[in-house]
Amino acid sequence: MVCKLTQFLLHGKIQRKIETLFNTDHVCLLHCKYLCSQIGYFMIELKIQQEVCNAVHRLYGAMIDPKIISIENTKKEIEGDYTVVVFPLLKISGKSPEITAKELGTALMQSMPEIQSFGVIKGFLNLILADNFWIDFLDNEYKNIMFGHIPERDEAPVVVEFSSPNTNKPLHLGHIRNNLLGHAVAEILKANGHKVFKVNLVNDRGIHICKSMLAYRNWSNDETPGSSGLKGDHLVGKYYVMFDKHHKEEVKRLMSEGLTEEDALRQTPLILRAQELLRSWENGDPETIALWKRMNQWTYEGFDHTYRRMGIEFDKTYYESETYMLGKALVMEGLRNGVLEQKEDGSVWADLKDDGLDEKLLLRSDGTSVYMTQDLGTARRRFDDFLPSEMIYVVGNEQNYHFDVLKLILKKLGQPFAGHIHHLSYGMVELPHGKMKSREGTVVDADDLMQEMYRTAEKTTREVGKADAFQSDEAEQLFETVGMGALKYFILKVDPKKNMLFDPVESIDFNGNTGPFIQYTYARIQSLLVKAGQGGHDLPGLRINHAVALLKPEKEMIMRFYRYPQVIRESEQELSPAILANYIYDLAKGFNQFYQEIPILKEDDPEKVTIRLAISGFTGDIIYRAMELMGIRVPQRM
């Protein structure tokens, strides 16, 4: 139940609607204060819905479920702000769509002072709100730094896991999408009032780590990042690729001796030695552990550099080397309780066939653990650390089956958090020349890509003259801001569930649906506001005349602002920064059209100038805050 003050503010069906909108079952005093400031504005759709129900009761004597009332934004080619679809009401009214819509429109004008007029097209009632409704909203909110954002709620936190790199290779383009998506989702959750912990799980042990360790032991001549001139993660990745190259040669030789490819892959001397190295690691062999620590430290230092440039940080980092034993303990407990079963070779499995899945290996016959074992332990440790309401795993869609199995095994093991795990599955990032493979060295390295984005931003920015007035150090900062903004926006504007093709050149375009276009719009607004201040306009003290008649472009911009809180809610509900990204693009595109069509500082009427400066400033503020949620900086000038 919501608190009594909120019940007073939001009664009946509107209360239940807002509970859905805010996706919560508790609203504290802070939220009541927030709702008090917003209830007259972005809840207008709910008020229209409720008043339609009241009008139907007065006109036709029927009580209806508000769910059948559809309130939509009026199509751009039609005059109106909101459209009520009346077709579901025809059986109740017993009249034609046009007559029903006209009767409802007349009734709504009598009960809602916000409505100025209405029009009817067949079964669609198009409502036009009074200008003073939109001006009141603008005047009350354009200086509100919390507009659209909800104060943090006093409730169990949400844990968002993302990145999850392996310490046998550097971060690549796929990791970039993962990191950007995880960071943006976490920030959007915060904007919706959730307490959020961003965590990283470093895959620092296992057979893949042992492959790079073995290759380094065999062929490195003890080179280091310092002696090689390579970042630590790049150096370790070099030996992971080297292992694969030699392993393929051994597979080819064994197949020439009569082995099948499947048998050869399992029986090469290299893979057998890597497996032995894994057993030595799990048995705590000092020499093996020393090499493991040395190479991992190189990788961590490389990761830190990449994360800093990407703007990524975590509240807590977990290491599989510290959680796999807890996973093994859970497996052994499940074995003792008869939930799991042990095969003749000593391996331990979960039989999930009755649940429509398959058997899942949890411990190998030699006692070593697998990914699933480690994830069991990590989930348990994370729940103990945070007692979260939800644990969101940002992991690619190739792991959909893995997470179905993880949740099912945790449920069978009786873990209370099994139902609190959500896999945020996202599509792969593809390139014009095909898929990436780390072990073959065909990945697009994250560091190389970010540097390429910098160079592309420098070239494009200079070509269009955006950096002509900058000193060298300022220009370098601008190129970094534009390059990283282009990369982040291009990736985040795509629905996470979809695969995507990344094109660095296409991402840096000052005229399309890109980060640089939005960044330039923000810089244009800041330049306008600076000129306004120099011209004597008191920006902090703007006094808006509520009786001014709005032009269509002005009203359209204010209506875009009005949608921002709803966009933030939708982005949270769908866990999709793409919803927010494309809203920002629409806002920036709308402002540029407004800027071209409507004079601002050249307007003679000072009251109109005030309205237009408020619209400009509000646009800039929303762009700044929304881009910040996606980890994108915006320059003050370009």
Strand-pairing partners, residue 121, are 124
In this structure, CATH architecture of domain 162-440? 3-Layer(aba) Sandwich (3.40)
Written as six digits, the tokens of 229 are: 């001139």
Share of the chain above pLDDT 90, in %: 81
What pLDDT, on a 0 to 100 scale, did the predictor assign at position 470?
86
What pLDDT, on a 0 to 100 scale, did the predictor assign at position 503?
83
User: In the structure, what pLDDT confidence band is assigned to residue 379 with cuts at 50, 70 and 90?
Assistant: very high
Written as six digits, the tokens of 370 are: 């697998």
For the sheet with 115-121, list strands across it.
Answer: 70-73, 82-85, 124-129, 115-121
d(CA 224, CA 228) in angstroms, rounded, equals 6
Q: Could you give the 3-state DSSP secondary structure of residue 125?
A: strand
Task: Indicate whether 446 pLDDT > 50.
Answer: yes
d(CA 49, CA 497) in angstroms, rounded, equals 32
What pLDDT, on a 0 to 100 scale, did the predictor assign at position 272?
96
- Say how many C-beta atoms besides its own lie within 10 A of residue 311's C-beta: 15
Task: Report the candidate in 143, 60, 154 with the shortest Cα–Cα distance to residue 100.
Answer: 60
| Measured CA angle at 617 (ends 606, 466), to 5 deg | 110
Task: Indicate whether 25 pLDDT > 70.
Answer: no
d(CA 315, CA 424) in angstroms, rounded, equals 19
What pLDDT, on a 0 to 100 scale, did the predictor assign at position 6?
40
Q: Say how many residues make up the chain.
A: 638
d(CA 418, CA 411) in angstroms, rounded, equals 5
String of DSSP letters for 82-113: EEEE-GGGHHHH-S-HHHHHHHHHHHHHHH-T
User: In the structure, what pLDDT confidence band is assigned to residue 435 with cuts at 50, 70 and 90?
Assistant: very low
Q: Dihedral sign for Cα 426, 430, 435, 441, please.
A: negative
What pLDDT, on a 0 to 100 scale, did the predictor assign at position 265?
94
- Say how many C-beta atoms besides its own lie within 10 A of residue 182's C-beta: 26
What is the location of CATH 3.40.50.620 in the chain?
162-440
What is the location of CATH 1.10.730.10 in the chain?
446-496+503-629
436 to 93, 251, 275: CA distances (angstroms): 61, 22, 26
Mean pLDDT of 407-428: 95
d(CA 483, CA 453) in angstroms, rounded, equals 5
d(CA 58, CA 40) in angstroms, rounded, equals 24
What pLDDT, on a 0 to 100 scale, did the predictor assign at position 430?
79
End-to-end Cα distance, the chain: 50
Looking at every residue in the chain, the average pLDDT score rounds to: 90
Amino acid at 498: K
d(CA 445, CA 440) in angstroms, rounded, equals 13
pLDDT tens per residue, range 85-94: 999 999 999 9
d(CA 363, CA 269) in angstroms, rounded, equals 23
pLDDT tens per residue, range 326-367: 999 999 999 999 999 999 999 999 999 999 999 999 999 988
Written as six digits, the tokens of 472 are: 């060298």
Instruction: Specify the range with the lowest mean pLDDT, choosing from 39-48, 76-85, 259-268, 552-561.
Output: 39-48
pLDDT tens per residue, range 421-431: 999 999 998 76
Task: Indicate whether 3 pLDDT > 70.
Answer: no
Strand-pairing partners, residue 416, are none
What pLDDT, on a 0 to 100 scale, did the predictor assign at position 425?
96
What pLDDT, on a 0 to 100 scale, did the predictor assign at position 551?
95
Please answer whether residues 184 and 160 qualify as being in contact, where contact means their C-beta atoms are separated by less than 8 angstroms. no
Task: Indicate whether 309 pLDDT > 50.
Answer: yes
Enter the DSSP assignment of 369: B
Task: Indicate whether 11 pLDDT > 80.
Answer: no
What pLDDT, on a 0 to 100 scale, did the predictor assign at position 442?
53
Written as six digits, the tokens of 441 are: 């060295």
Q: Please name the residue ranges forming H helices in 311-431.
A: 320-336, 371-386, 400-412
User: In the structure, what pLDDT confidence band is assigned to residue 385 with cuts at 50, 70 and 90?
Assistant: very high
Q: Could you give the 3-state DSSP secondary structure of residue 547?
A: coil
What pLDDT, on a 0 to 100 scale, did the predictor assign at position 24?
41
pLDDT tens per residue, range 114-164: 999 999 999 999 999 999 999 999 999 999 988 999 999 999 999 999 999
Q: Could you give the 3-state DSSP secondary structure of residue 350?
A: strand
pLDDT tens per residue, range 233-286: 999 999 999 999 999 999 999 999 999 999 999 999 999 999 999 999 989 999
What pLDDT, on a 0 to 100 scale, did the predictor assign at position 343?
95
Q: Could you give the 3-state DSSP secondary structure of residue 431?
A: strand
Question: What is the third-level CATH fold of 446-496+503-629?
Answer: Isoleucyl-tRNA Synthetase; Domain 1 (1.10.730)
pLDDT tens per residue, range 494-519: 999 999 988 888 888 888 899 999 99
Task: Report the candidate in 571, 617, 523 with the shortest Cα–Cα distance to residue 145.
Answer: 617
What pLDDT, on a 0 to 100 scale, did the predictor assign at position 207?
92
What percentage of the chain's residues is helix, strand, coil (to nearest 5)? 60, 10, 30
Mean pLDDT of 99-103: 97
Indicate the pairing of strand 158-161 with strand 196-202. Answer: parallel
User: In the structure, what pLDDT confidence band is assigned to residue 9 with cuts at 50, 70 and 90?
Assistant: very low
Written as six digits, the tokens of 156 are: 């169990």
Mean pLDDT of 403-411: 96
User: In the structure, what pLDDT confidence band is assigned to residue 433 with cuts at 50, 70 and 90?
Assistant: low
d(CA 230, CA 216) in angstroms, rounded, equals 14
Please answer whether residues 125 and 84 qualify as being in contact, where contact means their C-beta atoms are separated by less than 8 angstroms. yes
Burial 323-352, CB ≥16 within 10 A → b, else e: bbebbbebbeebbeeeebeeeeeebbbbeb
d(CA 414, CA 337) in angstroms, rounded, equals 11
Task: Indicate whether 29 pLDDT > 80.
Answer: no
Mean pLDDT of 4-13: 38
Residue tagged 């348990």 (tokens): 380
Instruction: Specify the range with the lowest mean pLDDT, choosing from 98-107, 224-233, 388-397, 536-545.
Output: 536-545
Enter the DSSP assignment of 445: B
- Say how many C-beta atoms besides its own lie within 10 A of residue 260's C-beta: 10
Q: Could you give the 3-state DSSP secondary structure of residue 76?
A: coil
Strand-pairing partners, residue 119, are 126
Q: Dihedral sign for Cα 620, 622, 623, 625, please.
A: positive
Q: Could you give the 3-state DSSP secondary structure of residue 399?
A: helix
What pLDDT, on a 0 to 100 scale, did the predictor assign at position 467?
80
Task: Report the candidate in 497, 500, 502 with the shortest Cα–Cα distance to residue 394.
Answer: 497
Task: Indicate whether 23 pLDDT > 70.
Answer: no
